[in-house]
Chains A and B, each alone.
Chain A
Amino acid sequence: MSVTGPRLQPVLFERSKPGRGDGKVPHPPKDALDRVPSDQLRAAPPALPELNEPEVVRHYVNLSQLNHAVDTGFYPLGSCTMKFNPKLNEWAARLPGFAGLHPEAPDEIAQGTLQLLFELEAMLAEISGMRAVSLQPAAGAQGELTGILMIRAYHRSRGDVERTDVLVPDSAHGTNPATATMAGFRTVNVPSAPDGGVDVDAFRAALGPRTAAVMITNPSTLGLFEPRIGELLSAVHEAGALAYMDGANLNAILGRFKPGEAGFDVMHFNVHKTFSTPHGGGGPGAGPVGVGETLLPFLPWPRVLRETDGSFRRERPGERPTSIGRLRSFVGNTGVLVRAYAYIRAHGTALAEVTNDAVLAANYLKQRLAADGSYDIPFGRPCKHEFVASSTSLRKETGVRTLDVAKRLIDFGFHPPTVYFPLTVDEAMLIEPTETESLETLDAFADALIEIAAEARSSPEIVTGAPQTAPVRRLDEATAARQPDLRWRPMTGRQMPCPD
């Protein structure tokens, strides 16, 4: 068998031929580098591969075809909101006025883009019930860091420096506790209640003068709306702490629930989830942050401001000394934000229908699986945009695990759901169909899951041996971690060199 398999591709470096692809750029004059001291110059160009354009194009087209993507099939990856990415948004972002604008362009020649950013801030504030929004954070996790740093600045501004703890439910995304650490806090994990929701009494017990913040995902990572959220937020504020909302699940509450009005002090938006900007194979996203009145002074700079004459400008360095500062260069991931703006404007006041359809799709799938009974549905009450199923009973009966079910779904042409998350449910599958899938797709997916359970009972080796139809079979992840090979080495193949 070939080392790369029929559909797999050689690494770029293996395709390289010396001298190939030279002359793509006009040759510089011989004295081009005469003013640069020779001790600053490298002896030879970097050992990049040498290829011609057709080879490069074929390499990347062939590689792309090894991917499952929203554009190739159903992608019910819970907590990631893999909805369809409208092509109109791609067109908008590529308009030369947006795509070609220099980040240091003077405000007077960036008025259109600044206006778009200003209006997007206002729309996100309206959607969330927050007082103001910063578009600067590049992703949800950076939005979390921004929010928790603002909470820290708030407490310090009041001389309250004893608050060291951030309370996080045990069902939270890993970014929440990791963010608390980055912002200099200690994470206190609070166990969930038996019904899957936050345990308000456990939170009450954990709250105190050392609590700086609580981080809540609502609906939770189990896809369940927190019915006692008002009670919880009151307790948080009584303890002198502030409440952060992880907005990863905003697709479940558009037009239905405004976190700002419910009493959250700060939240982030994942525009690559809720507002349909493409995930890009892991990024880019954008993670705008909305704040209530309390945290307004601490927003990162530069904000986009509107002058009395109607023109727009960026805040100047040092203009607002209470700001926590910058999280990155320039104003934000503008190219991503243009897509989000286009999406929100295209939906207008009908954004609530996105949520209605997303919740309907999730409940439909959940009911189909519950009626069949092959998989456990740990929480019976209606879900929001996603739900948890579990293979605990199936595993007991057949030995087939959630991992096997996930891999077998690949043979049916589906991307597996998120598996083994949340950590609070054994053998978890977090399924998020989104509003952009048809009834036929939802039925086909439910049928596949049910058929896989039947296979698990009749011929489990089919399931445990899956996938069979993907470009590769299951991987040896243990060796990859034990003997890491993290870059191509033309001379030594796969061996790691001795440290010099």
Chain B
Amino acid sequence: MLLRGEWYTADTPYQPEVSQGTLQSIYEYESLIAELTGLDVVSASHYDGAAATAEGALMTCRATRRERVLVSRAVHPDYRATIRTYLSVGGLVVDEIPLVADGPAAGTTDLAALQHMLADESEPVAGVVVANPNFLGLLEPMAEVGRLAHAAGAQFVSVVEPVSLGVLLPPGGYGADIAAGEGQPLGIPLQYGGPYLGLLASTEALVRQIPGRLVGLTKDLDGRRAFVMTLRAREQDIRREKAASNICTNQALLALAASIYLAAIGPHGLRDVAALGAAHAAALEDALADAGASRLHPGPYLNEFAIRVPDAAAVHRGLLDRDVLAGLVLAEAEPEDPSLADGLLVCATEVTTKDDIDRFASALRAELRKTDRIPAVPVAGGVAS
């Protein structure tokens, strides 16, 4: 569908009479993502998940007129770096919420630390940013995070993975004010990092704060239903230095791709995709444990988890020689977190086959034996201090 020139060679729908295709598709995108997130206002796309999350963090500062944002350390490192850049000006402060070090909640956002940080009245908090599933694949206590944030007068930004919302409770279901995330899993090719799709949604209360284009339903002179860009007084071409953001070009074609994916797969299909990923991940966990690599954290996950592999970078390279691209070396992604030094982040999706899992497990077993890397004492979970 995306190969049609009518879609990809049009520009922003400035002239609605000759842009009803694009406008209706954006309205439908807003509606589909609203169903997925449980939030009512969806902007017509941002650059990617990281930039959308940074815009979400800025929204909390505008909405609360406060200047401090708390970001969980289990938000993707690229997202945290992007938030730091976007919030590096205007006296804004970004503080990171530590993770639970050990026990059943290891690797998730430390709620006691969050509560302590929120209690500092000298620096009131505008927003709390937590991802579910988090960067380590673990499920977070989102409802509790929301309660703590709201009790302190802060807004709650939930970072989501859209396919997971086929089965997981949506942000609107646990009190998030804003949802942001990467829309790439909704049928968008990998393309070495982009173009992707920044998802950004909010409650209706924040409609004047949300950046980016919004399309609304209206009528033409003859009473026919039609769609138009609206609430434009937030945008740079109208409000200039008073705009909610400087965003102009967005990721419209990728929003269209996501809409087509969701329309084609439907609610049951999306649920099945998410559940298959979880089933395959469970099989992967068992196979990798059998091969000598147990999970790094004990808590529940959906389809992504970290395993303990001593000298993970070397093992990763060895597996590549065996034609297996074995996930992400956590020591490279999070060099400052010693608890992740032996971590390899892996995942399974709906397209992972039993053969994939067997090949990965047997290659890993061989790689671990090669250098006698199997830990002397099996680790049943928990993080070494």
Q: Tell me, yes or no, whether B377 is within 8 Å of chain A by CB.
A: no
Task: Bin the interface of chain B by size.
Answer: 35 or more
Across the interface, do A283 and B246 meet the contact criterion of CB distance under 8 Å?
no
Q: Tell me, yes or no, whether A395 is within 8 Å of chain B by CB.
A: no
Residue on B nearest A325 in the bound complex, by CB? B85
Distance A410 CA – B275 CA, assembled complex (angstroms): 48
Across the interface, do A138 and B194 meet the contact criterion of CB distance under 8 Å?
yes
Q: Tell me, yes or no, whether B267 is within 8 Å of chain A by CB.
A: yes
Partner among A140, A333, A476 whose Cβ is within 8 Å of the Cβ of B219? A476
CB neighbours of B86 from chain A (8 A): 182, 327
Across the interface, do B228 and A480 meet the contact criterion of CB distance under 8 Å?
yes
CB neighbours of B123 from chain A (8 A): none
Distance A139 CA – B251 CA, assembled complex (angstroms): 9
Across the interface, do A99 and B189 meet the contact criterion of CB distance under 8 Å?
yes
Partner among A28, A77, A326, A485 whose Cβ is within 8 Å of the Cβ of B217? A485
CB neighbours of A139 from chain B (8 A): 47, 247-250
Q: Tell me, yes or no, whether A462 is within 8 Å of chain B by CB.
A: no
Partner among A77, A105, A178 whose Cβ is within 8 Å of the Cβ of B241? A178
Distance A327 CA – B251 CA, assembled complex (angstroms): 15
CB neighbours of B193 from chain A (8 A): 103, 329-334
Q: Quick check: which of B17-25, B153-161, B357-365 contacts chain A, the rest being far away?
A: B17-25
Residue on A nearest B28 in the bound complex, by CB? A12
Q: Quick check: which of A38-46, A355-363, A377-385 contacts chain B, the rest being far away?
A: A38-46
Across the interface, do A103 and B190 meet the contact criterion of CB distance under 8 Å?
yes
A75 to chain B, nearest CB (A): 7
Across the interface, do B51 and A138 meet the contact criterion of CB distance under 8 Å?
yes
Q: Tell me, yes or no, whether A278 is within 8 Å of chain B by CB.
A: yes
B91 to chain A, nearest CB (A): 8
Given A144-B246, A472-B226, A29 and B279 contact (CB-CB distance below 8 Å): yes
* Most chain B beta-carbon contacts within 10 A, residue among A61, A68, A80, A140: A68
Across the interface, do B82 and A67 meet the contact criterion of CB distance under 8 Å?
no
Contact with A along B6-17 (1 / 0, CB 8 A): 111111111111
CB neighbours of A100 from chain B (8 A): 189-190
Q: Tell me, yes or no, whether A159 is within 8 Å of chain B by CB.
A: no
Across the interface, do A479 and B18 meet the contact criterion of CB distance under 8 Å?
no
Partner among B42, B49, B50, B251 whose Cβ is within 8 Å of the Cβ of A283? B251
Given A28-B276, A281-B22, A486 and B216 contact (CB-CB distance below 8 Å): yes
Residue on A nearest B36 in the bound complex, by CB? A46
Q: Tell me, yes or no, whether A56 is within 8 Å of chain B by CB.
A: yes
Given A11-B27, A24-B269, A281 and B194 contact (CB-CB distance below 8 Å): no
Q: Tell me, yes or no, whether A205 is within 8 Å of chain B by CB.
A: no
Across the interface, do A25 and B85 meet the contact criterion of CB distance under 8 Å?
no
Distance A109 CA – B248 CA, assembled complex (angstroms): 34
CB neighbours of B221 from chain A (8 A): 473-476
Across the interface, do B213 and A282 meet the contact criterion of CB distance under 8 Å?
yes
* Complex interface residues of chain A between 70 and 116 (CB less than 8 A to chain B): 70-72, 75, 77, 80, 82, 85, 90, 93, 98-106, 108-110, 113
Across the interface, do A22 and B269 meet the contact criterion of CB distance under 8 Å?
yes
Q: Tell me, yes or no, whether B270 is within 8 Å of chain A by CB.
A: yes
Across the interface, do A335 and B195 meet the contact criterion of CB distance under 8 Å?
yes
Distance A177 CA – B246 CA, assembled complex (angstroms): 8
Across the interface, do B189 and A335 meet the contact criterion of CB distance under 8 Å?
yes
B24 to chain A, nearest CB (A): 6
Q: Tell me, yes or no, whether A460 is within 8 Å of chain B by CB.
A: no
Q: Tell me, yes or no, whether A344 is within 8 Å of chain B by CB.
A: no
Across the interface, do A141 and B249 meet the contact criterion of CB distance under 8 Å?
yes
Partner among B245, B273, B300 whose Cβ is within 8 Å of the Cβ of A35? B300
Partner among B77, B213, B264 whose Cβ is within 8 Å of the Cβ of A53? B264
Given A1-B223, A85-B9, A328-B48, A282 and B246 contact (CB-CB distance below 8 Å): no
Across the interface, do B44 and A174 meet the contact criterion of CB distance under 8 Å?
no
Across the interface, do B44 and A282 meet the contact criterion of CB distance under 8 Å?
yes
Q: Tell me, yes or no, whether A371 is within 8 Å of chain B by CB.
A: no
Across the interface, do B30 and A487 meet the contact criterion of CB distance under 8 Å?
yes
* Complex interface residues of chain B between 273 and 305 (CB less than 8 A to chain A): 273, 275-276, 278-279, 282, 300-302
Distance A71 CA – B16 CA, assembled complex (angstroms): 18
CB neighbours of A496 from chain B (8 A): 204
Across the interface, do A330 and B18 meet the contact criterion of CB distance under 8 Å?
no
List 7 additional contacts besides A22-B269, A40-B169, A480-B230; criterion CB under 8 Å: A26-B272, A37-B139, A100-B190, A326-B84, A330-B194, A333-B47, A475-B219
**Residues of B participating in the A interface, judged by any CB pair closer than 8 Å:** 1, 3-22, 24-25, 27-28, 30-32, 34-36, 40-42, 44-45, 47-51, 76-79, 81-82, 84-86, 88-90, 139, 143, 165-170, 173, 182, 189-196, 204-205, 207, 213-226, 228, 230-232, 235-243, 245-254, 256, 259-260, 262-273, 275-276, 278-279, 282, 300-302, 316-317, 320, 325, 328, 332, 335, 350
Q: Top 4 closest A-B pairs, CB basis?
A: A71-B5, A330-B193, A184-B89, A280-B253
- 15 A–B pairs (Cβ distance < 8 Å), ordered by A: A1-B222, A11-B31, A28-B276, A45-B271, A67-B22, A98-B191, A178-B245, A182-B246, A270-B249, A284-B194, A327-B82, A328-B82, A472-B222, A488-B27, A494-B217
